[in-house]
Each structure stands twice: as structure tokens, then as C-alpha cells.
Amino acid sequence: MADAWRHVRANAAGIFGTKMRSVVHEANQQGIADAVRQQMDFGLQILSHGLVPILEPEVSLKSETRGEAEAHLLAAFQEQLERVPEGQQVMLKLTIPSEPNLYLPLVEHPKVLRLVALSGGYERDEACRELAKNRGMIASFSRATLQDLRAQQSDEEFDAALGKAIDKIAAASVA
């Protein structure tokens, strides 16, 4: 009952959605499939309450088997997206893939509202370069957006640094 009440309050407050996050450190096919299935289980509950689930299994940039892990992640999502009811969509928040456009089938999937990219620990310039190689992905960069902001900056310096970061990231999102 408490969960239902939280969703009622979230809907009343105009909340769009909520996310689940996990981290993939290696290309363990079964582990990745299990993580994606678990995220989709929660995602379907969130959908049933009128909210948009944001599924975020981040593949570590430091993984020695990153490319293989990303391929397993793609396959797991292609399978799990079949569980999403017709006419409904989820959002995916994934690390920028090491192979450009690897996730294009997810970008184009009718049950994916949007595929947003994590900067994953890249510095902003590198994150923007990598994102620009991937059609249809848009940025959701937290650390990369904030990297040049300092408490000691004047309001004008802060606004200028933030504006420059946003402009660069927006440009990479539509490249």
C-alpha cells in the first residue's frame, strides 16, 4: 500500500518518472540479462502507476570486456522490451557505447521513449566527441556538465561556464 501511495503522490506532484541504476563491470551474459530483467520488472511496476521508468544499467568505462558487455546489454534489452505493453514506453540511460551506433536498434525501438547517454566518467570534451558518433542518443551528463563550475566563481563566471557546457553538450546531442 505504501508504494501505491508514493505513486499517487508522485503523479499528483507532476513527477515524470523515476530511475533504477546498476553498474556492469564485466561481460557476464547471465548477470547482465538478470540485471536488465530486474530493472524491467521494476520498470513495468512504474509504468502501471502512470510514471515513466528510466532504466540505467551503466557499463563501466574501465571494464576490460566493455564492448562485449555492451553487446550483451543490447541483446538483453531487445528481449526485455517485448514485455513493455503496446503503446507504452521506457527510457534508457546507458553509457556511450565503445562501438558507435551500437544502440541504434534501441533508439529506433517503438517502446523506447528516449535513449540518453551517461558521460560515464569521461571529461566533457571526450564525452561530447563520443556522443556525437551515436545517432539518436542525447546527453544526460551530470559530472561532465559541472566539471568547470566552482563555488568561488562570480555569478557571471558561473553562468558563462554553465552556458558554455550546456551549449557544447547540446551540440553533441544533435550531431
Which positions are annotated as active-site residues? 56, 93
**Exposed/middle/buried for residue 137 (C-beta within 10 Å: 0-12, 13-18, 19+):** buried
HEC string of the chain equals CHHHHHHHHHHHCCCCEEEEEEEECCCCHHHHHHHHHHHHHHHHHHHHCCCEEEEEEEECCCCCCHHHHHHHHHHHHHHHHHHCCCCCCEEEEEECCCCCCCCHHHHCCCCEEEEEEECCCCCHHHHHHHHHCCCCCEECCCHHHHCCCCCCCCHHHHHHHHHHHHHHHHHHHCC
Number of other residues whose CB lies within 10 A of the CB of residue 135: 12
